[in-house]
Amino acid sequence: MTVHEIRQLGDPVLRTPAETVTTFDRDLRRLIDDMFESMYAAEGVGLAAPQIGVGLRIFVFDCAGRKGHVVNPELTVDDVESVVDEEGCLSVLGHYEPTPRAVGATVRGVDRLGRPVEVRGRAHLARCLQHETDHLNGTLYIDHLPKDVRRKIMSGLR
């Protein structure tokens, strides 16, 4: 397994919507294993493929007592209720900001073998599912913040 460098804010891959996975082979299984290794090496709780420079719709997570991966995820927000809690990102190092997210969320997709997968989460796991799915759409958590806070983070990273 390989630990990949985590791409940082400013890398275009983080702002590019990821492509649907169509081939379920040994390379995909190796990529998912590498993503877990990279996430653990960075001490994260979730990692999307674009964060290691791969433009595919895959994320891994080990969050709130649940561990798994989802290929080609589709997110559904279960609750209209939202909560503001501190959020950070391996691709925006050193910044944690109060970020609004839905209290409950479900992701449906497939696993590394193409079998259906459903992950339901509340609280911290729901936040993780929303955060990682955002990455696959070219969105970062800072996009959910007020413009002045976003500008402050961006100027601090230059």
The CATH class that applies to domain 12-157 reads: alpha beta
Res 65: pLDDT:
95
Contacts of 22 (CB under 8 A, 6+ apart): none
pLDDT of residue 79: 66
Element (H, E) at 72: strand 66-77
Quick check: 80 pLDDT over 80? no
* Residues β-bridged to residue 120: 106
Cα(33)–Cα(82) distance, rounded to whole angstroms? Answer: 33
The pLDDT, as a whole number, for residue 100 is 95
> Where in the sequence numbering do the catalytic residues fall?
132
* Burial (CB count within 10 angstroms: exposed 0-12, middle 13-18, buried 19+), residue 2: exposed
Q: Is the confidence at residue 41, as pLDDT, over 80?
A: yes
**pLDDT tens for residues 142-154?**
999 999 999 988 8
Domain ranges of the chain: 12-157
